[in-house]
Amino acid sequence: MRDRKDQNESGSGFSRRDFLKGSSAAAAATAMATSATESPAQQSQSQGNVASAEARDVTLSINGQQHTLSLEPRVTLLDALRNDLNLTGAKDVCDTTTCGACTVLIDGKATYACARFAVECEGAEIQTVESLRNGSEVDEVIEGFVEHDAMQCGFCTPGFVMATRAFLNENPNASLEDIQKGLGGNICRCGTYHGITQCALQIAQKGGACSWLNERLVGDLVAKTA
């Protein structure tokens, strides 16, 4: 787990989270010194299709906006979103590609953000749960979660919302059984599955139409919330 703390400091972004962790600058400096002594050979290599182990500029397209961050290859998309961009909707829960709380859409496909390195996502369109809100308006999946009381502690909710959104985009007329199978990649420890599946079913019965919010990626929102 210490490694991940080190990673948190890998980016260039300045955020509330970085500020709160003022003491971690020393940890970052140690990590850099260690990697410099351990792998001198790796530093020089950055040619063709190979990127060295050191941090470099990585440009990510998130919710319609381009962000350039200085990241090591080992930084996951989840850590980059949460620690460098302060997009904390995707949650860090199991960290073993199992629970779905970190689900984001990459080129429209539901993906565990903890199963991707940020560098892998260059050139792809990333959509986080933050894109499903614009001012006071929210995506119908979020409305449906509220209507069907589909959350208790709420920690799994952003991931579940994204998985539901992705599932309904591809399966607009899904049956209850389809929904239960499709959303099996998300876990809710409070056990709110009934509300979630009812929400998805209701939207599917209306034809699963994509809401305007989902269709167009809300770029300026990120600037406002970052």
Give the footprint of another protein on this chain (CB under 8 A): 3-4, 7, 35, 39, 42, 45, 49-53, 72-74, 76, 95-98, 100, 103, 109-112, 114-117, 119-120, 163, 166-167, 170, 180-187
Cβ closest to another protein, residue 53 vs residue 209: 53
Output the CA angle 5-154-19, nearest 5 degrees: 35
Q: How far apart are CA 58 and CA 68, in angstroms?
A: 5
The CB-of-196 to another protein minimum distance in angstroms stands at 12
CB of 224 to another protein, least distance (A): 28
Closest CA to 131 of 33, 48, 211: 211
Q: Which is nearer to another protein, 40 or 135 (CB)?
A: 40
Q: Are strands 65-71 and 133-134 parallel, antiparallel or unpaired?
A: unpaired
Between residues 148 and 165, which has the closer beta carbon with respect to another protein?
A: 165
Identify which of residues 126 and 221 has a Cβ nearer to another protein in the complex. Answer: 126
What's the closest the beta carbon of residue 220 comes to another protein, in angstroms? 28
What are the φ and ψ backbone dihedral angles of 26, each rounded to 5 degrees?
-65, -40
Smallest distance from another protein to CB 211, Å: 19
Nearer Cβ to another protein (117/155): 117
Contact at 8 Å (CB) between 114 and 188?
A: no
* Angle, helix 140-147 to helix 157-170, in steps of 10 degrees: 120
Q: Are 70 and 55 in contact (CB under 8 A)?
A: yes
End-to-end alpha carbon distance in the chain: 26
Please state the closest distance from residue 112 (CB atom) to another protein, in A.
Answer: 5
